[in-house]
Amino acid sequence: MKIPREKLSALWNVVKDKRNPLNISYETLAKYRPLFRYLSGKEIARLNLSDSKILSYIGTHADLDRHQVGLVASKYIRLNEKWSEPRYLNLMNNLLCGVPMTFMRKIPENTYLQLSHQVFYHIHACDPLQRRFYLALMMRTQVLGKSYSWSASDVARLGLLLAEVSGPALSSISPKAMAGITAQVMLKMSPHNLQYLTEAQLQYIGQKPLNILARKLKGYQDQLQIYGNGAACKTTSVNLYYLSFTISTIILLNESI
């Protein structure tokens, strides 16, 4: 049975129990987590954002949209003039999707090197334009640089931003650095870009992301066979077949060890 959104939102009044949102504890919010997505951004912004646990709770909630995080981020920036320091950005996580890009451009480049590895795994509310914006910042010379210079730690640090890396740039990543790709990130990556991966790179991808990659390329190959035509599509299909065969071989070898 599907409960109307209005009733789910009304449950918040029961949770509040006439209390000022500023006085609601992290422990209370934790119990409400499955329904938290139904709160308005305005109501969420009334919580005690000065409490690091509450700020992190909001920033790591995967189901908030850009409008919600935008209202909360705007309120937090007004409350904390030091919001752009690494220690606070590392608590904001998904709230970075609600910060105007003009604000983020003004932050010193070395600040981005101090971001925790989990930050870009939580940016679910960002649209593709925002993700490409953050990727461009991370690819600056003084931050991580171009893809051919990345280590496995760098790849892991990029999180969901890796989904915005172009196919040619993806193929330039050092094979050993591919160990930094997680299953969560692989799920978000485009099969169009993934087809650029090399045989050497495949050797270093973990078992779970490799299984996801195999399914993605198989689905992409099937689509091309149904809807594609022309020499370019035939060439792509051949390349995908070879890549899929290589992945299947690696998976079988891993399972036999």
- pLDDT-derived band at 251, boundaries 50, 70, 90: confident
- Among left, alpha and beta (phi > 0; psi -120 to 50; other), residue 227 is alpha
What is the rounded average pLDDT of the residues 139-152? 96
**In the predicted model, is pLDDT for residue 228 greater than 80?**
no
Portion of the chain with pLDDT greater than 70, in percent: 88
- pLDDT-derived band at 236, boundaries 50, 70, 90: low
How far apart CA 134 and CA 35 sit, in angstroms, is 29
What is the rounded average pLDDT of the residues 83-94? 97
pLDDT in tens, 94-123: 999 999 999 999 999 999 999 999 999 999
pLDDT value for 229: 56
pLDDT value for 99: 97
In this predicted model, which residue has the larger pLDDT, 224 or 4? 224
**In the predicted model, is pLDDT for residue 35 greater than 90?**
no
pLDDT value for 45: 97
pLDDT value for 18: 76
Question: Look-up: residue for tokens 């790179």?
Answer: 201
Among 114, 2, 22, 131, residue whose Cα is nearest residue 66: 131
**In the predicted model, is pLDDT for residue 150 greater than 60?**
yes
Largest CA distance in the chain: 67
Residue 38's SS3 state is helix
- Other C-beta atoms closer than 10 Å to the C-beta of 125 total 24
- pLDDT-derived band at 256, boundaries 50, 70, 90: low
How far apart CA 252 and CA 208 sit, in angstroms, is 13
**In the predicted model, is pLDDT for residue 234 greater than 60?**
no
Residue 17's SS3 state is coil
Rg, the chain, Cα only: 21
**In the predicted model, is pLDDT for residue 148 greater than 70?**
yes
Q: What does each C-alpha distance from 82 to 107, 146, 196, 220 come to in angstroms?
A: 11, 30, 42, 46
What is the rounded average pLDDT of the residues 218-234? 67
How far apart CA 104 and CA 35 sit, in angstroms, is 30
Q: What is the DSSP string of 56-108?
A: HHHHT-TT--HHHHHHHHHHHHHH-TTTTSHHHHHHHGGGGGGS-HHHHHTS-
Q: What does each C-alpha distance from 49 to 23, 29, 86, 105, 149 come to in angstroms?
A: 11, 13, 17, 24, 38
pLDDT value for 223: 77
What amino acid is encoded at 62 in this protein?
A
In this predicted model, which residue has the larger pLDDT, 237 or 187? 187
Question: Look-up: residue for tokens 């599509």?
Answer: 233
What is the rounded average pLDDT of the residues 169-176? 96
